[in-house]
Chains A and B, each alone.
Chain A
Amino acid sequence: MALAPGTWWRWVGVLGVVTGIGILSFYSVVAGWTVGYFFKTLTGAFSHAITGEESARIFSEFIGSPGISIVLLFAFIALTMYVVAGGIADGIERWSKVLMPVLFGILIVLAVYALTLEGASKGLEFYLKPDLSKVRAGTFAKALGQALFSLSLGMGTMITYGSYLSRKENLAVSAGYVALFDTVIALLAGLVIFPTLFAMGLNPAGGAGLVFVVLPTIFGKMPLGTIFGSLFFLLLSLAALTSTISLLEVPVAYLVDEKRWPRRRAVLTMGTVAFVLGIPSALSQGAVNVLSALPKIGMGFLDLMNALFGNYSLSIGSFLIAIFVGYRWGVKNAVGEIEHDGTPFPLAPQWAFLVKFICPVAVAVILGYIVVTGQYF
């Protein structure tokens, strides 16, 4: 059964599937960089101290090389395809059950190490002591955008993963766990980065290049830096993999369900689409001038993909899902589904209030903010 047949709500689903493929394409480019940096660090590229300028040059040469970036993009999508081709229980689930504990273990090791560096406490203070004078309108936009992106909302993945659940599962508790794990991992990542940066006397506002440019400058200065650095980029690669898996599963599920395609064929097709769509993003970091600064748009192709799919379409998708459940399907019906088989949902009234009023308004405000200011999150 489906919820709203023959209506334009179908396009919300289409938006979700398209967003999944769109994000997969450029996300895999960055994921490829993390794999490249893992090998770079492991083979001693940052075993000696380098300056910020040297590090920036190494990074721009690396991402500006057409061969390397396309090969890494291909490799990452191929690995993603391999996992997804295995199916739900034998592919995605089996890999996730190995990768997630490994990821958590690496993160704990890195955080413990970072916190023992001399001068780490200044980083902790910056990270944990709120300075409300720095809060602006943009802070809220960035925080909500980060929350939606980080929780993989509005891109069809959680609908798809939910579709493989049995009626016995407690959906509210599951969502709570997923959000808790996600937040704990993000907070732990901060516990690795900020103490390390402050211990090495660096500026925390490093921007997108923080991980690829700033961190490599300190691997050479810190004890066991090459091991620390290699583990860090391995961590990033594994984290990216479990996400690209879910992004690929969205269009694959569509072809398997609606077009009755065999899973392998669906994986091959959609993986290829994501790879081809990812090529211009891979070439937009200096390899091809037109793609690096698109005429009239003023940004590179990868940034454009991030703006379109990582900002607009996932926000619009999240907004419409809240509207759909809040008003079209109705919170009563949704609560009925959640409470199926007698599963308790004591927070149902609060959830209904948030879904009907707070979520759509908050997401619409953020959407308005990025439209008006052009400040993407």
Chain B
Amino acid sequence: MEGKSTDRVERGTWGSRIGFLMAAAGSAIGLGNIWRFPYVTGQNGGAAFVLIYVAFVALIGVPVMIAEFTIGRSTQKNPIGAFEAWR
């Protein structure tokens, strides 16, 4: 793990907090929200589905997302590198 400072320059970092949030929200927001969500909701009874969906986002989605962010930040690596080399 030599040259840690040059590694960081090569990899890059987010320039601002809002920039990171926009990028991560942009990753999440996609065809899934605008194309898939309405038709899956329509096929599964409307509002009841929406309630279950929101509960899953809060109870499963957010915890797993925190887990992924934490793995990424603690290693400062891509997914394979994050699990692989140990100092």
Instruction: Name A residues whose Cβ lies closer than 8 Å to a Cβ of B.
Output: 1-7, 9-10, 12-14, 16-17, 27, 30-31, 34, 87-89, 92-94, 96-97, 99-100, 103, 107, 126-135, 138-140, 142-144, 146-154, 156-167, 169, 171-172, 174-179, 181-183, 185-187, 189-190, 192-194, 197, 204-208, 210-211, 235-236, 239-240, 242-247, 250, 253-254, 256-258, 318, 321-322, 324-325, 329, 334, 337-338, 351, 354-355, 358-359, 362-363, 377
Contact = CB atoms under 8 A, between A and B. Distances in A.
A115 B73 CA distance: 42
A331 to B, nearest CB: 9
Interface residues of B, number: 78
Given A139-B49, A160-B78, A321-B71, A134 B30 contact: no
A5 B77 CA distance: 13
A204 B42 contact: yes
Given A9-B83, A153-B68, A176 B78 contact: no
B35 A187 contact: no
Classify the secondary structure of B's interface with A.
helix
B31 A161 contact: no
Given A146-B53, A258-B81, A337 B47 contact: no
Contact of A158 (B43, B47, B60, B69): B69
Given A132-B48, A204-B42, A205-B42, A257 B11 contact: yes
Given A135-B52, A174-B20, A177-B21, A2 B62 contact: no
B71 A351 contact: no
B74 A3 contact: yes
B52 A31 contact: no
A92 B23 contact: yes
Contacts of A157: 27
Contacts of B34: 107, 185-186, 189, 211, 235-236, 239
A239 B61 contact: no
Contacts of A186: 32-34, 37, 53
Contacts of A243: 26-32
A181 B69 contact: no
A131 B48 contact: yes
Contact of A236 (B14, B35, B63, B75): B35
28 contacts: A2-B83, A3-B75, A12-B83, A16-B80, A93-B16, A130-B50, A134-B48, A143-B53, A147-B57, A148-B64, A149-B36, A150-B33, A152-B27, A159-B71, A159-B72, A163-B73, A171-B69, A175-B66, A177-B21, A179-B61, A182-B28, A197-B42, A236-B35, A239-B31, A250-B78, A337-B74, A362-B56, A362-B59
